[in-house]
Structure 1
Amino acid sequence: MSRREDHGLPRVEITDESLREGMQIEDASIDPQDKVRLLDALSAAGVPRLIVGSFVSPTWVPQMAQVEEVIAGFTPREGTTYTALALNARGAERRAELTEPYGPLTALPDVPRSTIHLCDVFVRRNTNKSQADEIAALPRIIAAAVERDVHEATVAINAAWGSNWLGPFTLEQRMAYAAHQYDAWTAAGIRVSTFWLGDPMSWNTPRALEETIAAFRDRWPEVERYHLHLHDARGTALLSFYQALRALSAEHVLGVDTAIGGMGGCPYCGNGRATRMIPTEDLVDLLHEEGVATGIDLDKLIEAAWLAEEVVGHELYGKVAKAGPRPRGAELYPMDMPFVESIEQAQHFRLGSSVYAGAPSPYKEPIRSPARDAVEAGLPVPLAVPAAVTEEK
């Protein structure tokens, strides 16, 4: 019996990072009102968690200079969680001013997080701190959590699988840095409820994700939540997510960060826009095909992906918005449709047959198919050869 049949799949929590991770690598001149349009479209699609921006220095991230204007302009949707990233005390103060009851951001549960980057070079480039600084800060973070009387914490490993400056990291390294944080939290009487695994430089592979999840589960079986922040510069992020999905069970929660169209990237990792994220629409399509409910309207999400291309002014990287979901029932393609060659013509699934009007067509007479007749009658596709018969012994 397979792991999936035996244990089921974990509950998946999608967090869309389009307005933060996505926009931070796009043109700084994008109008805040266009960002609001995109944010509202993602809300309307039913995306349950949205990161609406970050409170950071506009000197180094000018794309976030007008984050307050974006937050003031969007229309919150009931049932959606809206938050923003803050990397320092001043940023946290700005964010607090826009958190309920003072504004549209959602007040999140107070779950403290400690983080160690396996790549000392990346953390220096990204936050002007060293790995040693992160390790030294751990007692202070825990002491503050004890003072606030919190009862659970998140342990984060960032740049978990490799570095563009240092090369690959081992499972032993991941385990050692996780254990250092886990042991410190539990010694203070605070339960670790979540492992957060980040990959800013796109070193994830399916095997590495499976190996990591399996080892963490064996070592810390009581931790029920995992959260993945995977970048896709090398095209493996969705594959790696799927492997993690299969490595967990129904008693777990698997969080994952995505961005519409796959936009996203960090200017400090060396890959720029090529860093990319898992496209939200591609992930939702995959989960729906696997029988995992998301509560997200995929058709509206696809429209948001096309709006995102309009907002950023260039083609994005998702697949499902270009080809559409797998057609079924009334959505099956016309059998006599002409040649479809361009991305624009492929939009017939959402825009209708006018997009391929006048395209070459070699068919001299209408195509007929007994198999299609059966499908349209609600029957299974008939077998053209006899079913295989198992020989009795």
Structure 2
Amino acid sequence: MTNYPKVLITDETLRDGLQIERSGVTVAEKLELLNRMVDAGLKRMVVGAFVNPKWSPQMGDTYELVKQIEPRPDVKFFSLALNDRGREERKAFTPPLSAEELPATHLHLCGVFIQRNTNKTLEDQERSWRLPIDRAVALGLKESAIGLSSGFGSNWTGKVSHEARMEALQRQYDAWSEAGIKVRRVDMADPMGWNTPTEVAKDVRAIKERFPTIDIFHVHFHNARALALLSFYEVLNLLQPTDTIIADTAIGGIGGCPYCGNGQATGMIATEDLVHLLQTLGIETGIHLDRLIETSHRLSEILGRPLHSQVSFNGPLPDQDSLYSEDVPVVFTFEEAQHFRLGSSVYEGNARPWIKEAK
């Protein structure tokens, strides 16, 4: 038992992760990765997107992938949909896909990004952002979510102020409240990696004060400036045991939006790095870190490039049973550092200059 909030990890490898990679990852490889992640203990993952394959070709096989997913009673599979057509297509595959957990409104705060990402304008958004509220009222739903995209800043238009974020959230909160629907969750989406621990902490404190019904914080932090895990840690320390964090991550820290300007360099929090952090804090995840590390290396093989997870490079902190042997020689390369999982063959022949040779 800890004083930390509950943490739910939603792995985005197969959606946000692969959408930024060149086409060529097969359905069979995606299923292999999915099964590896389930075997490692992940209970929530986004497996694809019902979007136009002309603009997101890596998601063009989502139909075929979803058809082959075997439902697991304890695992939730999600998929992105950006419009009514996509939502109807997603509904046809539910199950094995899980339904949206809460109806939600979202406001993009960058006009350039919403145009590039969804081919809509801020004026289009203004005309339609309340539609989820109307649908929720018609269905008699009682709880909801509010959220922002590009809330911390934009590569195209610059930094967004804390006051602007709070105003945009207040508009949504008031609209749901006027409809008689309780707001339980806030979605903090940062596709361009402008999150900083300072701004995130400022927002969390204000949200807890201004919107007391919110007890679920969904964070989708990209890691373009290497601050995503630090920002997550701020949220973790500011919330209470009665709160919940939903953290979006990706194996190997891959991920990024093609329309944000940073490509594969954008990245996300690496799933295995976050799991390791939680374990060091005594937060139980039910996830096998060693299996995640093996999945990360398999994903690297599939993509044909190094990934971004430090834990996969170096292994978790050794316990008493896995401390390094004093016989380990000098180690220089990434490959040689893999002795924690591959054994001594990776550094065979390297020198041990601290050992005096017999004369």
> What TM-score does the superposition give when structure 2 sets the normalisation length?
0.96
Change (3 A) 1:314 1:176: same
What displacement does 1:93 show? 2.2
SS of 2:130's equivalent?
Answer: helix
The CA distance in 2 between the partners of 1:292 and 1:210, in whole Å, is 21
The CA distance in 2 between the partners of 1:88 and 1:161, in whole Å, is 24
Larger Rg: 1 or 2?
A: 1
1:356 equivalent in structure 2? 347
2:192 equivalent in structure 1? 201
Is the CA contact 1:43–1:76 (under 8 Å) kept in the aligned structure 2? no
1:87 equivalent in structure 2? 82
Which one-letter code corresponds to 1:35 in the other structure?
Answer: K
Pair 1:119-2:110 in alignment:
yes
What displacement does 1:223 show? 1.1
Alignment counterpart, residue 42 of structure 1, candidates 28, 37, 62: 37
1:163 equivalent in structure 2? 154
Alignment counterpart, residue 188 of structure 1, candidates 179, 190, 196: 179
> What TM-score does the superposition give when structure 1 sets the normalisation length?
0.88
Is the CA contact 1:161–1:199 (under 8 Å) kept in the aligned structure 2? yes
Alignment counterpart, residue 218 of structure 2, candidates 196, 206, 227: 227
What displacement does 1:140 show? 2.8
Ranges in structure 2 where 5+ consecutive residues have no aligned partner? none
Is the CA contact 2:105–2:130 (under 8 Å) kept in the aligned structure 1? no
1:209-254 CA distances to partner (integer Å, 9 max, x unpaired)?
1111011111112211110000001110001110111111111101
The answer to which of 88-97 and 334-343 deviates more is 88-97
The CA distance in 1 between the partners of 2:33 and 2:147, in whole Å, is 30
SS of 2:338's equivalent?
Answer: helix
1:181-209 CA distances to partner (integer Å, 9 max, x unpaired)?
00000001000000101111110011111
1:81-140 CA distances to partner (integer Å, 9 max, x unpaired)?
11111112222222222212xxx223444x211010111111111111122322322333
Which one-letter code corresponds to 2:11 in the other structure?
Answer: D
Residues 51-66 of structure 1: pairs in structure 2 closer than 5 A: 51-66=46-61
What displacement does 1:141 show? 2.4
2:279 equivalent in structure 1? 288
Change (3 A) 1:108 1:118: closer
Identity %: 45
2:263 equivalent in structure 1? 272
Change (3 A) 1:290 1:273: same
1:248 equivalent in structure 2? 239
Change (3 A) 1:145 1:74: closer
Alignment counterpart, residue 312 of structure 2, candidates 305, 321, 326: 321
SS of 1:242's equivalent?
Answer: helix
The CA distance in 1 between the partners of 2:249 and 2:291, in whole Å, is 16
1:33-82 CA distances to partner (integer Å, 9 max, x unpaired)?
11111111111111110101001111100111111222233444441111
Pair 1:133-2:120 in alignment:
no
